[in-house]
Amino acid sequence: TLSYTPGVLVRIDGIKDKTCTRELLSELFGGCGNIQYTDYNRGNEMAYLRMFDAEEAKSVVKLATEQAVIKEKLGSVTVSQLAGEEEKAYHQKIQDLKNDRKKKREHGKKRKFNAESSYVCFTCKKEFPTEQFSTSQLKKGDNRSCKACVEKHAKATGQRPERTKEELTCQVCSILFPSRNQLFKHIRAEGHDAGAQPKEEAKKADTTASSAGPATKKAKADNESKESQQA
């Protein structure tokens, strides 16, 4: 789940090209930083981009005003960085939409398997919410095992652990996929993660790069100073 972070949302108004796609928007603005997700449906005149931080969001606005290719591809669009109540309202709308989809998925899951809100794991004898059991485990009836026990057994036997629905569901648009590979292909194609890697890894990589940057520049400056003195 993407938490509320001030200043990271950008709105693009006035898209006239009806063939515009999420992929095109990611291509045009991906150079500004790590696009967390792209909220756009083909044919709409408005799109939203969530960037990794506020500085990247500012870069998107700056790029739109300076680069002719943006006007060439999208037309005379207006690009602005959301702030204040408008930004909070958009974030809340997205969260409500995701919660509604989650409730519908869980309702359908419970109805399909006549599921209760929780079950006792056959292996460890502990009670867990239904969400902690994969679909295949629910089919086993009283012999169902929780996620932790399934993973422990898989590790001991060298088998790949089963995935729960939560692990196979896109956290942005709530679509369920049959495998993690197909999920990641979807994430890359939709531009939910411009770095084509899980959000935590992208954030860690960006943090490492930003922290290493100043140190690298300082070391380079020191070396140039020494060379100058020796000369």
Per-residue pLDDT tens digits for 80-136: 999 888 888 888 888 888 888 777 776 665 555 555 677 788 888 888 777 777 777
Closest CA to 83 of 9, 193, 16, 181: 9
* pLDDT confidence of residue 111: 55
Q: In this structure, which long-range contacts are made by residues 121-129, counting pairs with CB atoms below 8 Å and at least 24 apart in sequence?
A: 121/145, 121/146, 121/149, 123/149, 123/153, 124/148, 124/149
Least confident of 12-16, 136-140, 194-198, 207-211: 194-198
Domain boundaries, the chain: 9-91, 114-161
Q: What is the CATH number of domain 9-91?
A: 3.30.70.330
Q: Please compute the mean of the pLDDT values over residues 52-62 and round it to a whole number.
A: 91
Measure the CA–CA gap between 26 and 28, rounded to whole angstroms: 6
* pLDDT confidence of residue 128: 78
The pTM (predicted TM-score) of the whole model is: 0.45
Q: What is the mean pLDDT of the chain?
A: 76
- Please give the residue that has the higher pLDDT: either 36 or 140: 36
